[in-house]
Structure 1
């Protein structure tokens, strides 16, 4: 069973134009046992939500009628959390989080809840859930658990997957990645070169300059131009990833920042 509740504290986004992002409740809040507190503690997804809100805020400053905005859905399959739904909603209100909807579903209906809400990007700290969603055609990524609070949303793209998609990725997940790339690219073009609240990074682990150039061309053909590009030519990816501190990594299949 899937139950979706609108957040009446925020203005609902245009369903035809918004970029719908679902984030797990466990990533947003430290949802432990009932400790008597009125609100949950802040989880690892707080920097992400703050950065997305900053992007939305800047877009609306430039154009109050802007419809290309991030539409965040908070989703949970934990029965204990669902029994404390009022606490989740009040916690969102307490922290001033711009969450448009709350989605409560069973484990069995988890994928249905994503599809029913037209989710274009699913973010979680649970590798199994992210992989499951990706296999069903929903673009998914793991959240970096060490990102410091920042008003700039930093999104990393895997250049290797752009030109050589993972054999395990489905055509639906690859199409989802391309669609998200186009929307993100359009959003990035709303801002100038300097002082942008949104930054696109590409990291190429394998190959040389030609491979890197090919990946950049492919992304441009999808409508996405990057702010920074790194060609590692076979060197380990972890060191540069730890320095860049992007919020999440987009691949044509499914990948985590620590890979």
Structure 2
């Protein structure tokens, strides 16, 4: 799938951008017609901000710091119809978000438009749509409710787990199958051999390209690797990023400690992890996206 080299594009579902819990409950309990009436009757009522709202707001502000054509874009992908989606667009206008492109699919999955729009990242509350996007080779995550926090500045902070997110899950497979000692021995033996790329490698590369347009002191984007790895398993990670020519601003090797407090200290606007249990814990502190990829999700296909 071809990305748009001139832009960094995030696709987001309407339920990730806004709090649509009430209307979704109407849909689940009373059906599509009742849902449509509910939305049309309230189309001038502004929706409350959803878990990804502040992330999107900060992302769009990046364009204000660069001259020329906008370098970042947000695409709205929604299961609403255009008719019921009018409330969503009215809310976008109310909050002053520069979102002009959208696909309204009237109950069908919108994931199929990720490719034509050239998206680098897809954020949704629908796990099935996220898996389909990952199958297309697009970085994607299911937002876990409850962790959004409005940050105190305009710097956009992305935090990533390592294995099965930035990197492949080849090392994690050994850990799951043979335990920590076997994992440590294997990583020590393979320290000079770069890991394979995971689903977020391309997105991290695109972020770095955008970061390069700013000076170090003025860059509005910071990245962090926050991983359960510890020494000596850190070496392969460092050498892999070096081999890829990818720089992350901060790297935290936790050796199995809970990640939540560290993510809050970093000030993460969003954290991406493949492990459902880690996501649930992190979501108590920061907005969190579950990446349903790799061996940790084989037995959690509905997580």
TM beyond 0.5: yes
Q: Which residue of 2 aligns with 1:57?
A: 64
What is the correspondence of 1:1-259 to structure 2 with a 5 Å cutoff? 15-31=4-20, 32=23, 33-34=38-39, 36=42, 38=44, 39-58=46-65, 60=66, 64-65=67-68, 69-79=71-81, 82-106=82-106, 108-143=108-143, 145-149=147-151, 150-161=153-164, 162-165=166-169, 174=197, 177-208=200-231, 210-250=232-272, 256=279, 258=283
- State the distance in 1 between where 2:136 and 2:265 align: 32
Give the Å deviation of 1:147: 2.4
TM-score calculated relative to the size of structure 1: 0.75
Specify whether residues 188 and 103 from structure 1 end up closer, same or farther in structure 2 by C-alpha distance, changes over 3 A only.
same
TM-score calculated relative to the size of structure 2: 0.66
- State the distance in 1 between where 2:57 and 2:104 align: 23
Q: Which residue of 2 aligns with 1:4?
A: none
Give the Å deviation of 1:163: 4.6
- State the distance in 2 between where 1:37 and 1:85 align: 8
Specify whether residues 19 and 252 from structure 1 end up closer, same or farther in structure 2 by C-alpha distance, changes over 3 A only.
farther
CA displacement 1:86-140 (0-9 Å, x = unmatched): 2222221221102131111255443312222222100123344323422342211
Greater relative contact order, per chain length (Cα 8 Å cut-off, separation 6+): 1
Give the Å deviation of 1:203: 1.0
- State the distance in 2 between where 1:227 and 1:212 align: 16
Report SS of the residue matched to 1:83.
coil
Specify whether residues 253 and 17 from structure 1 end up closer, same or farther in structure 2 by C-alpha distance, changes over 3 A only.
farther
Specify whether residues 124 and 48 from structure 1 end up closer, same or farther in structure 2 by C-alpha distance, changes over 3 A only.
same
Report SS of the residue matched to 2:226.
strand
Specify whether residues 191 and 216 from structure 1 end up closer, same or farther in structure 2 by C-alpha distance, changes over 3 A only.
farther
Specify whether residues 102 and 123 from structure 1 end up closer, same or farther in structure 2 by C-alpha distance, changes over 3 A only.
same
Report SS of the residue matched to 1:74.
strand
Contact 1:71 1:100 in 2 (8 A): no
- Of stretches 27-36 and 45-54 in structure 1, the one that deviates more from structure 2 is 27-36
- State the distance in 2 between where 1:182 and 1:253 align: 23
Report SS of the residue matched to 1:114.
helix
- Of stretches 242-251 and 70-79 in structure 1, the one that deviates more from structure 2 is 242-251
Q: Provide runs of 4+ in structure 1 moved above 4 Å.
A: 106-109, 173-176, 250-259
Give the Å deviation of 1:153: 0.8
- Of stretches 210-219 and 110-119 in structure 1, the one that deviates more from structure 2 is 210-219
Give the Å deviation of 1:248: 2.6
Contact 2:168 2:197 in 1 (8 A): no
- Of stretches 35-44 and 246-255 in structure 1, the one that deviates more from structure 2 is 246-255
Report SS of the residue matched to 1:201.
strand
- State the distance in 2 between where 1:211 and 1:92 align: 45
- Between structure 1 and structure 2, the one with the greater Rg is 2
Contact 1:158 1:204 in 2 (8 A): yes
The unaligned stretches of length 5 or more in structure 1 are 1-13
